[in-house]
Amino acid sequence: MDHSDGAGAPDAPLEPTVAIDHQEVADAFARLAIELHDADGVVETVETVAQFALQALDCSYAGVILSTRDSRPEIAAVTDPLVAEAFELQLASDNGPLITSLRNRTTVLIPDTTTEQRWPEWAGKVAALGVRSVLDVPLVIGSQRSQTVGVLGLYSLTAEAFDTDDEAIAHILARHASVALATARHEASMAQAVDARKLVGQAMGILMERFAIDGDRAFAILKRYSQDTNTKLRDVAQQLIDTRKLPTAGHPDQASSRPPV
């Protein structure tokens, strides 16, 4: 029996459309995974994440802050200077949704900055910039002892721009970004370690040739100067290579051409 009321064809089933949307999202993240894999270093990784957020989510601007070893977050990527200003307002006051997301490892949603009560001063300033909706998602690595490596900040010029689907996509993006950032940082750290070993090896060679000593003695000399001058071993080696002299304890601006006895 035809249940049409004559006004038009019966409603089409929704399942095929939903499946297509899911497939499009899956394809998009597959492309992102490839782009993140091909990214050259931390800087290019975070820029890729920020640009992808503009394509995958209903936002006007995006940005990423990263935590650092001294615990002070730094702005890593923004798609517009407005995002940098919104970030800096929070970093300067050490307060705001971004800071809360970073410290508590929680997603923070502001449906409308004009009615936001948790951070009224900051919300009023970004509302004056035209921002109406904010979604901050932490970038977390690890499972049992998780660590927040940064936050993905999403900004929209429209009030209530982010729905539950947007939050779900943002979380998927954050997980991809977290893994990519952890990998990029590890590779950068390994590269620095390799460079340091090369520098130390070169500096040891200089000492071995100049003073006719073996490798163990040469390394002990570098280590001693590193401790006496409170200078990283890598930097002591670099100075010896550049100047052919070793730093003098208590006088970093002076140098010695003789090793300690």
Q: Which of 234, 246, 241 shows the shortest CA–CA distance to 193? A: 234
Tokens of 129: 């910039």
Q: pLDDT-based confidence at 215, cuts 50/70/90?
A: confident
Q: Is the pLDDT of residue 244 over 60?
A: yes
Q: Is the pLDDT of residue 62 over 90?
A: yes
Query: For 34-45, how does the pLDDT look when each residue is reduced to its tens digit (9 = 90+)?
Result: 555 555 556 677
Query: What CA dihedral angle connects 161, 167, 172 and 175, to 10 degrees?
Result: 110
Q: Give the highest mean pLDDT range of 109-113, 150-154, 182-186, 243-247.
A: 109-113
Question: Which element (helix H / strand E) includes 133?
Answer: strand 133-141
Tokens of 248: 């003098």
In the chain, DSSP finds a helix count (H) and a strand count (E) of: 8, 7
Q: Is the pTM of this model over 0.85?
A: no
Residue 54, number of CB atoms within 10 A of its CB: 15
| Per-residue pLDDT at 169 | 86
| Per-residue pLDDT at 2 | 43
Q: How many Å apart are CA 61 and CA 59, to the nearest integer?
A: 6
3-class DSSP assignment, residue 29? helix
Q: Which of 146, 198, 197, 200 shows the shortest CA–CA distance to 175? A: 146
Q: 250 or 246: whose pLDDT is higher?
A: 246
Query: Percent of the chain having pLDDT more than 90?
Result: 31
Q: How many Å apart are CA 113 and CA 125, to the nearest integer?
A: 9
Would you say the C-alpha torsion 196, 45, 176, 146 has a positive or negative sign?
positive
- C-beta separation of 83 from 91 below 8 A: no
| Per-residue pLDDT at 13 | 41
Question: Which element (helix H / strand E) includes 34?
Answer: helix 15-38
Q: Is the pLDDT of residue 151 over 50?
A: yes
Query: For 13-57, how does the pLDDT look when each residue is reduced to its tens digit (9 = 90+)?
Result: 433 333 335 556 555 655 655 555 555 556 677 788 888 888 888
- Burial status of residue 34 (CB atoms within 10 A of its CB: 0-12, 13-18, 19 or more): exposed
| Per-residue pLDDT at 8 | 43
Q: 185 or 48: whose pLDDT is higher?
A: 48
